[in-house]
Amino acid sequence: MSPSNQRVSYRALQSLLLKRFGMAAATYFMSLSLCWIAIFGGLFRGPLSTALASTGLVILSQLVFLALFTSGRNLRFSDPSLTEAQVLVAICWHTWLLSLVDTARGTLLVMYVLIMLFGVFQLKPRLFARCAAFAFFAFAGLNLLEAYQMRLVAPNLALLQVCALLVVMVWLSLFASYVQALRQRMRRRRFALQAHQDTLRGMMRQLEDLVATDELTGLFNRRHFLRLASRELENLSPSHQHGIALIDLDHFKRINDGHGHAVGDRVLQTFATVARGCLREGDVLARYGGEEFVLLLPNCDADRITACCERLRRAFANAELACVDVQSLSLSVGMTLVGLGDDLDDALQRADQALYRAKRNGRNRCDAAWERLGA
């Protein structure tokens, strides 16, 4: 992954974690609101200073988590979301709150469920079960401590609450395990779907290549060339012009008749190889049909297209076919220039007429449509 992508991923992760922390902070705000409702309702058995100190410490603990997230130090931990730590801290604070109330304890017991739900989608089943066990033993320990100190008001009610919390924690642990298993299945299915999509995209690219490419020479076919050339002409600026050349391999029928079609195929492949070495990146060469090829040179003038075609003609004349005795290889070229507003069919017609003159004048030469216009 590139550094820029890493920075984007880092910002996205931190943004998501800060949003989750915001949800946790909102839950703390609601819990503190309930705490102060209990205080003003006379259900709090500690002094007001204890409530104020507890509220301040709760806020301080959340500021510590906020500092970890905003500074990026949370990324040093195996779980950057710090979900388990936040759940354990919340359980400690809630158990402390329950130790300061009597009759409201059963009502506030539901906050344990809210705390545990915070980790359902993030914690692994083993970690979730550990947090659930911590919540149960914290509440059970609170009741045992009060029973030992003879401060437990209603032992039967406390036993019922402990048993109810045990049932809820067990159920939540099983539910969290099911949710995580479901997420794993969904993740595997998503990966499988992505793999299928990648395979499908690869097959589509292969199909596009087959549709656009001549199988024998590996060059573009006529249909794809016409599509590319039309697009180039549409995007042509007034100050530029393109060159188009039609290329015909001389005496190709004689080679086919005298040496067989396999040798003729090798001649076509040899031309394609030679032509690739003579063209620049961005030039478009395609098999136009049979032994005829078409060339598009973007942003060129008469001198450049003439030099390119002459270079290609000489290179093909000097090419050799291994293990095949072909006396000579040559080609004829018809060239034309196209500017803004020119029609592609008209340009190909001009190039075809120039090619006809080149073959009529002895072959193995390059003729240009603008030479006839100049004459």
Cα separation, 15 vs 64, in Å, equals 17
Cα separation, 336 vs 353, in Å, equals 10
Give the chain's domains with CATH numbers.
Answer: 3-194 (no CATH), 222-374 (3.30.70.270)
Q: Residue 309: pLDDT above 80? A: yes
Cα separation, 362 vs 188, in Å, equals 68
CB 104 within 8 A of CB 38: yes
Q: Record the tokens describing residue 154, joined without a space.
A: 């209603």
Task: Kindly report, residue by residue over 234-287, the tens digit of the pLDDT.
Answer: 888 888 899 999 999 998 888 888 888 888 899 999 999 999 988 988 899 999
Lowest-pLDDT choice from 13-17, 52-56, 300-304: 13-17
Helices (H), the chain: 3-40, 48-71, 83-99, 105-108, 111-117, 125-148, 155-212, 222-234, 252-259, 261-278, 302-317, 344-360, 369-374
pLDDT at position 374 is 47
Higher-pLDDT residue of 358 and 102 is 358
Cα separation, 310 vs 296, in Å, equals 15
Cα separation, 137 vs 210, in Å, equals 68
Show Cβ contacts of residue 153 under 8 Å, excluding neighbours closer than 6 positions. 102, 103
Which residues are identified as catalytic? 291
Please give the model's pTM, rounded to 2 decimal places. 0.55
